[in-house]
Amino acid sequence: MSADRLLNIVAFVVTISALLLSTRMLLLEWKRVRREVPARWSLDFKMVGSPTLRRTALFAMVSLLASLATASLIVSNPQRPSQAALDSLRAQRAADSIKSQVQAIRRRMANDSLNLAINLARSGHLRAALVKYDASLALDSTNSVTYNLKGYTLLKLGRAKEAVEVMKRGTEIDSNSTWGYYNLALAYWAVGDTVAAVNSIVRLLKLAPDFRETIRADPQFRKLSALPAFKRVLGESP
């Protein structure tokens, strides 16, 4: 409830109280005048002859008008916010708009760095690609694809332990990343953790059973596919 509305309600209560009090005083004064003034005299004569009655009647009329005016304010402005509240709302909206624009710019810059990193990696410039992957993640640390591709680049450079950690971060961000689990299995195999490698393939095939053919055709899985547990996962006889 705004401060203006609260003040209007308080004013209405006060004026209603004054109206009730003045009405009671008017009735008491009227009874007194009737007892003291002969009944044959007119009402106008009684009013003129009693200054207290006139003042009480005037006060009652003023209280009635004030009550009506206050009630009108409450009804016509039920929830009018204060100027400070409006200014605060406008400032918050402006801040949210600026924040959204900045985030959009950062995402575009992150995507530009990611695309450049992909091109560098494809052309064999793996260390230069890592620099661009890091630049992309500095701008947008929520892109699971960037983590996966950076991890795969680390794996190609022989830095398998680092690759595992980076790829795990990617699958934590997106638990439905098929290529994330695919490459993570290769990284686990490279560090000698065959159990984790097989588990990654299990997660992958639950998401995309069609990847069995891709795994069978990929020479990177040739040594891993010789394991009995791996064959069972692929549906082959151990």
CB of 211 within 8 A of CB of 205?
Answer: yes
Q: How far apart are CA 148 and CA 57, in angstroms?
A: 87
Read off the tokens for 84: 């400070």
Q: Which CATH number fits domain 166-238: 2.40.30, 3.40.50, 1.10.10, 1.25.40?
A: 1.25.40
CB of 74 within 8 A of CB of 5?
Answer: yes
pLDDT grade for 44, boundaries at 50, 70 and 90: very low
Is residue 211 over pLDDT 70?
Answer: yes
The fraction of the chain above a pLDDT of 70, given in percent, is 62
Looking at every residue in the chain, the average pLDDT score rounds to 79
Predicted local confidence at residue 22, as pLDDT? 63
Residue whose tokens read 């005016």 = 69
Which of 7-11, 40-44, 85-89, 141-145 is most confident?
141-145
Predicted local confidence at residue 46, as pLDDT? 43
Taking the model in full, what pTM does it have? Answer: 0.62
List Cβ neighbours of 25 (8 Å cut-off, separation of 6 or more): 56, 59, 60
Sign of CA dihedral 161, 166, 171, 173: positive
pLDDT tens by residue, 139-190 = 999 999 999 999 999 999 999 999 999 999 999 999 999 999 999 999 999 9
Nearest to 23 by CA among 67, 71, 72, 69: 67
pLDDT tens by residue, 102-139 = 888 888 999 999 999 999 999 999 999 999 999 999 99
Stated as kind and residue range, the H or E segment containing 167 is: helix 160-173
| Three-state DSSP class for residue 203 | helix
Nearest to 201 by CA among 192, 213, 211: 211
Is residue 47 over pLDDT 60?
Answer: no
Read off the tokens for 161: 């332990």
Nearest to 17 by CA among 52, 63, 50: 63
Terminus-to-terminus CA distance in the chain, angstroms? 73
Lowest-confidence region among 79-93, 97-111, 155-169, 192-206: 79-93
Domain ranges of the chain: 3-76, 166-238
Predicted local confidence at residue 80, as pLDDT? 53
Higher pLDDT, 24 or 155: 155
